[in-house]
Amino acid sequence: MADLNDFKNKDTKFTGTTGQRVSVGATGTRVNETGRLRFNTSTNLLEYYTGTLWKSIDAPPTIVTFSVDGVTASTSQFVDRTASGNASIIITGSLFSSGATVDFLGAGGSNISASTVTVNSASQLTALIPHSSFLAAQEPYDIKVTNPSGLSAQLDNCLSVDAAPVFATASGSLGSIRGGDVIPDGGSLSSAAATDPDGDTITYSITSGALPTGLSLNSSTGAITGTPTTPGSDTTSTFTVSASTTSQTQSRSFSITVRVPVVTSFTSTGSFNYTVPSGITRVQVLVLAGGGAGNNIGGGGGGGGVVIHNSYPVTPGGTVPGSVGSGAPQPGSSNHGVPTQGNRGSDSVFGALTAKGGGGTRSWNAQNGGVSPESPGGSGGGGTGQDQGGTATQPSTSNPGATNYGFPGARGGDGGGNNGTTGAGQHSAGGGGGAGGAGGHPSQTGPGNTTTNQQAGRYGGNGLLSTISGSSVYYGGGGGGSSHVSGFNVGNIPGGAGNEPAGTVGQGGGAGVTNRGGGGGGGHYPEHNGAAGGPGIVIVRA
């Protein structure tokens, strides 16, 4: 006999818009019966029983973009494994469920899971994981979000490992430098450069503030170079340097102070003590020795040797001993045909730095002017009136970290010698060596060689041009050589008498300029004896 239930609700049609009601209950109230369909209030999902297990009915989540540590969201990001703490990875998409998990799948099969996952909404979740968990050998990583239903979304090859550049110097002052110093040659600053742990190329830029006027940042090396403009008062400039690779940027704030230089000049011959200002650890120093004396019908005296140290170490508040060398005195008169030796200038000293005095020269008929063992020159004496006149060179001296300047004098005149015959070199002599260049000799073209039988002495060597005192000054010019004709003792920069300007015509033996270390000019027989050398100087720029 048929049962009513065999006929009841057959081919039932569901109508309306509100949907059909199914059983509702928590996981603990399930009835394990095949074909059961219910809404699980524990998981907030529909579920059904297969006869062996309950399965949730769900739609998979999606991943649209993600962001690492606040970087603008995209589908491709970098993580810095060297950073401390956790990486904060915000994932945006849809259908994220409470209890979702986040995994990072390494290219080499090494997978890691987020230590904390917060589902902010159905469209956003935040995963925290230690930066150090990521390995460069496993990049690129996939990101996988799995809902409690087991359904998941995955963004492939989206996360690479790249460390940010690391600055060599902590934020703060890079140093204090003097206005007008050439950086780095004349002063030093701490490094504003960085290194990249991955070996990536770094590009540098100033992203806020500005460097002191006159300085610039090398975009490839991070080096700060140039010559800062001297301010009216000590001035500190603050700026930010950014070091960027293709994926990472690191920025750091620095400052540089440009100081107004304090110049101290020691001009009196003899000993002195320099007192170092407080806070000063390095100074720039010019040490100029006394010039050598010229001789009667001889070559010009050698200019005083110059030593320049652009970053000499000192103790703040301490003292540095030194001395200023005197110029060589004028030699006595010489009998025609009797050779005499010109005097050598005295050395100048500052601490461990020594500038050698300029060499004196011998009179007209000595074959080896300026090379006598008694008269080695800091810059060298000039040649004699013979066609084989000699030179003197700077003796060996040790000045660590400094630059020595000084050139030998020229040889004597070519041609006529001293036998009374005509010729470009008759009774003439070479110029003394200067701190900035060698002295000339009479056979060279120039003033004094324009007329036959007017055998003028040749230029002294150039002095060394320096602005350490705040203005352009030549130091250690060589004296001009003597001439056979009165009034043709011609010098170069600074002239035959060791003075300025170029082309100065000495009256046969002009003296070297005081505190310029110039060599004395050679004298014309019989009107003038050779001249004295000029005293030296020591200049300290703090």
- The string of pLDDT tens digits covering residues 367-414 is 333 333 333 344 554 433 333 333 444 444 668 888 887 766 654 333
Residues 35 and 149 in one domain: no
Please check the confidence at residue 72 and state whether its pLDDT lies above 70: yes
In a domain, residue 197? The reply is yes
In a domain, residue 180? The reply is yes
Pick from 152, 141, 528, 191: nearest CA to 334: 528
Residues 93 and 111 in one domain: yes
Categorize the per-residue pLDDT at 164 as very low, low, confident or very high, splitting at 50, 70 and 90: confident
Please check the confidence at residue 55 and state whether its pLDDT lies above 70: yes
In a domain, residue 14? The reply is no
Point out the domain boundary residue: 140, 161, 182.
161
Interval 204-215 mean pLDDT: 97
Pick from 250, 292, 285: nearest CA to 439: 292
Residues 439 and 539 in one domain: yes
Residue 326: what pLDDT? Answer: 95
Residue 525: what pLDDT? Answer: 54
In a domain, residue 370? The reply is yes
User: Could you tell me which residues come within 8 angstroms of residue 492 by beta carbon, excluding any fewer than 6 positions away?
Assistant: 431, 434, 437, 440, 459, 460, 461, 462, 477, 478, 480, 502, 503
Residue 363: what pLDDT? Answer: 57
Point out the domain boundary residue: 129, 161, 193.
161
Interval 237-242 mean pLDDT: 98
Strands 77-79 and 152-161: parallel
Please check the confidence at residue 186 and state whether its pLDDT lies above 80: no
Residue 79: what pLDDT? Answer: 94
In a domain, residue 314? The reply is no
In a domain, residue 119? The reply is yes
Residues 456 and 521 in one domain: yes
Interval 527-533 mean pLDDT: 71
Span of 100-104, 317-321, 497-501 with lowest mean pLDDT: 497-501
In a domain, residue 316? The reply is no
Interval 230-251 mean pLDDT: 94
Residues 360 and 431 in one domain: yes
Residue 227: what pLDDT? Answer: 93
SS3 assignment, position 130: strand
Residues 95 and 193 in one domain: no
Point out the domain boundary residue: 142, 161, 180.
161
The identity of residue 418, as a single letter, is: N
Interval 462-484 mean pLDDT: 78
pLDDT, greater one: 393 or 213: 213
Structural domain total, the chain: 4
Categorize the per-residue pLDDT at 495 as very low, low, confident or very high, splitting at 50, 70 and 90: very low
Residue 246: what pLDDT? Answer: 86
Residues 405 and 518 in one domain: yes
Percent with pLDDT over 90 in the chain: 42
Please check the confidence at residue 295 and state whether its pLDDT lies above 80: no
Residues 189 and 214 in one domain: yes
Q: Which residue has the tokens 């503030």?
A: 209
How far lies 494's CA from each of 147, 266, 376, 538, in Å? 90, 21, 22, 19
Which residues span the domain enclosing 109? 62-161
SS3 assignment, position 37: strand
Categorize the per-residue pLDDT at 165 as very low, low, confident or very high, splitting at 50, 70 and 90: very high
Residues 121 and 244 in one domain: no
DSSP conformational letter for 479: B
Phi-psi region of 279 (alpha: psi -120 to 50; beta: other; left: phi over 0): left
Average pLDDT, the chain: 78
Residues 364 and 446 in one domain: yes
CATH number, domain at 172? 2.60.40.10
Residue 499: what pLDDT? Answer: 36
pTM of the model: 0.62
Residues 219 and 93 in one domain: no
Please give the Cα distance from 352 to 478 (Å, whole number): 25
Please check the confidence at residue 196 and state whether its pLDDT lies above 70: yes
Span of 89-98, 128-137, 353-362 with lowest mean pLDDT: 353-362
Neighbours of 5 (CB within 10 A): 8
Span of 94-108, 205-219, 272-286, 429-443 with lowest mean pLDDT: 429-443
Residue 399: what pLDDT? Answer: 84
Residues 71 and 31 in one domain: no
In a domain, residue 70? The reply is yes
Residue 112: what pLDDT? Answer: 96
